Amino acid sequence: MASEPVRSTAVIAAPKDYSIPSAQVIQLLSVTASFTDNGAASDWLPAVVIMDNNGNALCRATDQGVKVTAGSDAEVSWFPGVNRATSSTTPTTTRLPWCLAEGDLTTNGSLPSYFDFATKDTSDYQLDAGSSHVQIIGAGTYRVTVSAAIESGTLGAATVLDLDCAFTAPHGINYLQNIGSTGWVSIGHALGGTPIWNCIQQFVVSNNAGNTHTLDVSLTSNPAAAETADHYVEIERIDDPYGSPL
Amino acid sequence: MAQPLEIALPPDFVLDERYVIRVTALDPSTGNVVSGVNVADVTFMVDNLTGGDLASGSFGPFLLVPGPSA
């Protein structure tokens, strides 16, 4: 058995038929055809139709997704068992809604002063008018990380620093999980041998109702000392931002 | 401008004598043949199961014999 081509170059108005000769049997491996527009009034689908010897259509190999615009030409190939590949879509990357605030926090108990606030998700986060509170305003579940680091000055050996974080909300706040506070630890020595005192607190909060949740942060020192800490608040929304909150 | 397109044929389809392979242009809504479209080069690749002369097959429009239920 040999595979062989059968070809016709005659240009005729569709349809163009090939009748299998008498006493011949073939298995069709492929069809390729060139179509030229000759004033078609509408869009059209290239098609291969196989008919039995009584003219009954046995199959129509065509695809609604392969439509040729009226006025256009086409060169088309058909292969058994091969479907047209659908066009790929560019995958979209989703990210968790996130915000970061950076500011100064002093040990006199005054409100922090945030001089940087960054987010692309203004439907979830905002900074209050005084630039001293980060607010969660979108419904969802959030992981909150608050840090403070005192990098200058001299703290006594008996000094106790206290970093307090809490959310206030019109209808209360639901703390799903307090991941914990490391407490204040000395993590090394900066220039001149000054200890770096650092504290990180992390917790998870839920804002199912979509209220405005305001993060209060304060830093105190006992005995009192005039220290200033670099202070960061980072919040990530950890539920599916496109579905229901946890 | 030509639009290269590829769609499927049934696999393992053995065609007997006097069967017809038709290349045509169909209306997407009605399935009727769209006038004003010419078909030029047509090439089939086939397995010749009987080994005869396939070039003797006839190309071109012809009058189909109506089936029993036609």
A55–B contact, CB cutoff 8 A: yes
Neighbours of B14 (CB within 10 A): 11
Check whether A245 has a pLDDT greater than 60.
no
Q: Which tops the pLDDT comparison, B65 or A106? A: A106
Lowest pLDDT segment from A120-124, A149-153, B35-39, B62-66 = B62-66
Rounded Cα gap, residues A4 and B53, in angstroms:
10
Tell me what the mean pLDDT of segment A110-128 comes to.
93
Cβ-defined contact of B17 to A53 (cutoff 8 Å): yes
Count CA within 13 A, CB hemisphere, residue A188. Answer: 2
Quick: pLDDT tens for A82-105: 777 677 777 776 778 899 999 999
Tell me which DSSP letter residue A39 carries: S
| Interface ipTM above 0.85 | no
Cβ-defined contact of A63 to B20 (cutoff 8 Å): no
Tell me what the mean pLDDT of segment A42-63 comes to.
89
Which A residues, 13 through 52, put their C-beta within 8 Å of a C-beta on chain B?
13-52
Tell me what the mean pLDDT of segment A162-180 comes to.
68
A61: closest chain B residue by CA: B9
Rounded Cα gap, residues A116 and A113, in angstroms:
9
Tell me which DSSP letter residue A193 carries: G
Rounded Cα gap, residues B15 and B61, in angstroms:
19
| Residue percentage of chain A with pLDDT more than 90 | 28
Q: Which tops the pLDDT comparison, A22 or A232? A: A232
Instruction: Give the confidence band of A178 by pLDDT, cuts at 50, 70, 90.
Output: low
Cβ-defined contact of A3 to B47 (cutoff 8 Å): yes
Check whether B2 has a pLDDT greater than 50.
no
Rounded Cα gap, residues A214 and A169, in angstroms:
6
Lowest pLDDT segment from A3-7, A218-222, B49-53 = B49-53
**Residue among A62, A16, A47 at smallest CA distance from B41:** A16
Cβ-defined contact of A21 to B36 (cutoff 8 Å): no
